[in-house]
Amino acid sequence: MIIYDIMKLDVGCGYAKKEGFIGMDSDKNCKPDILWNMTKFPYPIKSERVKVLHSQHALENSLTSKDTVSKILKEWYRISCPNSIWIITLPHWTRFPSLEHLIGFEYKWWQVFSTHYTGTTDHHLDMDIKFSSMKYNWRRTDYLHGFGNLLKVIRAIWNPILNLNDSLTEELLCYKLGGITEWTFVLKIK
């Protein structure tokens, strides 16, 4: 097994590997740089070597239980440098459950794993994770044929409104208007 020493990692890259990143995926057809299942531990990556970890719509596709989330995040933490950044895009919790996604992620899902968490859970990992930012995305338009241009205009107007206030968006807009398909979290690892 090759042990990689890398700075930017795209976990679950699929066919859309982020430019400038080493792609890791379990699907050999997408030709990742590292052919590896994200639920197989340890990853073939040296400890504290990843400065930026990117994962877009991969985490939710690899989960079979809440315990799997803990194991994956613990491994991400192991390979992350001090002061690294995780950029994680997930489907919005209103998109769960589905046949493809067994576990949904709420607004402050990452806090459970942080040293700053004050609640109780079996999944607490005591990792030094700090919230940096979050962005809501309304209706991806890449799959809507015929209405794509109109929806892109609506999205350009609606996305900034959704991102004005997290509480307003979660408590009111998600229930009344819906349509939020994904959110991107930026977390700082200490």
State how many domains the chain has: 1
State which of 9-13, 145-149, 156-160 shows the largest mean pLDDT: 9-13
Q: What is the pLDDT of residue 125?
A: 64
- Compare 105 and 132 and report the one with higher pLDDT: 132
Residue 123, domain member (yes or no): yes
Residue 143, domain member (yes or no): no
Collapsing DSSP to helix, strand or coil, 150 comes out as helix
Q: Is residue 41 very low, low, confident or very high in pLDDT (cuts 50, 70, 90)?
A: very high
Q: Is residue 76 very low, low, confident or very high in pLDDT (cuts 50, 70, 90)?
A: very high
Residue 24, domain member (yes or no): yes
Residue 68, domain member (yes or no): yes
- Name the token pair of 182: 């994904």
Count of other CB atoms within 10 angstroms of residue 43? 22
Q: What is the pLDDT of residue 56?
A: 92
Residue 122, domain member (yes or no): yes
Residue 120, domain member (yes or no): yes
Q: Is residue 142 very low, low, confident or very high in pLDDT (cuts 50, 70, 90)?
A: low
Q: What is the pLDDT of residue 136?
A: 80
Report, as an integer, the average pLDDT of 88-97: 75
- Compare 124 and 56 and report the one with higher pLDDT: 56
Report, as an integer, the average pLDDT of 62-81: 85
Report, as an integer, the average pLDDT of 111-139: 68
Lowest mean pLDDT among 37-51, 53-67, 87-101, 117-131: 117-131
Range of the domain at 35: 8-138+181-189
Residue 167, domain member (yes or no): no
User: CA angle, 175 as apex, 145 and 114 as ends, to 5°?
Assistant: 100
- Compare 81 and 98 and report the one with higher pLDDT: 81
Residue 28, domain member (yes or no): yes
Q: pLDDT exceeding 90 applies to what percent of the chain?
A: 34
Domain at 12, CATH number: 3.40.50.150
Q: What is the DSSP string of 6-47?
A: -SEEEET-TT-PPTTSEEEES-GGG--SEE--TTSSS-SB-T
